[in-house]
């Protein structure tokens, strides 16, 4: 299978690319600037391309053409928040449909769908994630899995997760990447999963 990775340069996205390659997927990795952000180590299974979520839907669809699934790993809490996490996410969904891709794996954040549980300090970020998830669920025909992890860390991966976590729980970025990759061919369809590190092997949990 050929997988398109959005935000391949990000902290989670880099792990996603590595995990896909380790599992013998072909990878088309989208970077704002492939010359400076793509891995220096060459791989015949990795195609690094320029990809800008602020571009047109037709341009995004052309970049995705020929892929079997999309992993949206973008997460911007800076000036590009709305352009990336909201409008960019929606354009990526529409581009995937235009390119004939059914499977769409979206990285979100814990409790994005429950306004009462949003951290005040991240309110704008949660607004973007909420509406991006809502659009995916209610305004597309994509076969999606929305992954909502709790607090991310750079700890070593455990390979194990649990569902229905709290903010007191954590999960390593590498384990989040593994979940995103495992979700591609899992039996999870048009669903949202909330995860933290736990005691269930990831492949078994999905």
Of all helices (H) and strands (E), which one includes residue 132?
helix 123-138
Please pick, among 25, 31, 125, 130, the residue that the annotation labels catalytic. 125
Scan for tokens 């995860």, then name that residue: 195
To the query of whether residue 130 is one of the catalytic residues in this protein, the response is: no
Q: How many CA atoms lie within 13 A of 41 on its CB side?
A: 5
Instruction: List CB contacts of 25: < 8 A, sequence separation 6 or more.
Output: 1, 2, 3, 45, 181, 184
Give the strand pairing for 151-153 and 170-172: parallel
Q: Distance between CA 106 and CA 136 in Å, rounded?
A: 9
- Nearest Cα residue to 16 out of 5, 25, 28: 5
Residue in the structure block whose two tokens are 């649990």: 162
- Which three-class secondary structure state does DSSP give residue 201? strand
Containing H/E element for 62?
A: helix 57-64
Determine how many CB atoms are found less than 10 A away from the CB of residue 168: 8
Asked if 112 and 150 count as a contact pair (C-beta separation under 8 A), the reply is no
Active site residues per annotation = 125
């Amino acid at each position: 299978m050929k997988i398109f990775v959005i935000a391949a340069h990000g902290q989670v996205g880099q792990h996603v690319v590595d995990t896909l390659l380790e599992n013998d997927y072909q990878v088309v990795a989208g970077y704002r600037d492939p010359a400076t952000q793509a891995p220096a180590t060459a791989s015949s299974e990795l195609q690094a391309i320029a990809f800008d979520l602020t571009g047109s839907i037709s341009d995004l669809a052309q970049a995705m053409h020929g892929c079997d699934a999309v992993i949206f790993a973008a997460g911007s809490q800076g000036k590009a928040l709305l352009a990336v996490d909201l409008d960019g996410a929606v354009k990526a969904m529409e581009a995937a449909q235009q390119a004939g891709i059914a499977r769409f794996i979206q990285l979100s954040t814990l409790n994005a769908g429950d306004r009462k549980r949003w951290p005040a300090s991240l309110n704008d970020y949660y607004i973007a994630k909420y509406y991006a998830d809502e659009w995916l669920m209610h305004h597309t025909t994509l076969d999606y899995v929305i992954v909502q992890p709790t607090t991310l860390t750079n700890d070593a991966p455990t390979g194990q997760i649990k569902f229905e976590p709290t903010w007191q729980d954590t999960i390593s970025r590498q384990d989040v990447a593994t979940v995103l990759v495992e979700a591609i061919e899992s039996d999870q369809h048009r669903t949202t999963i909330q995860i933290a590190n736990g005691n269930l092997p990831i492949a078994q949990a999905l």
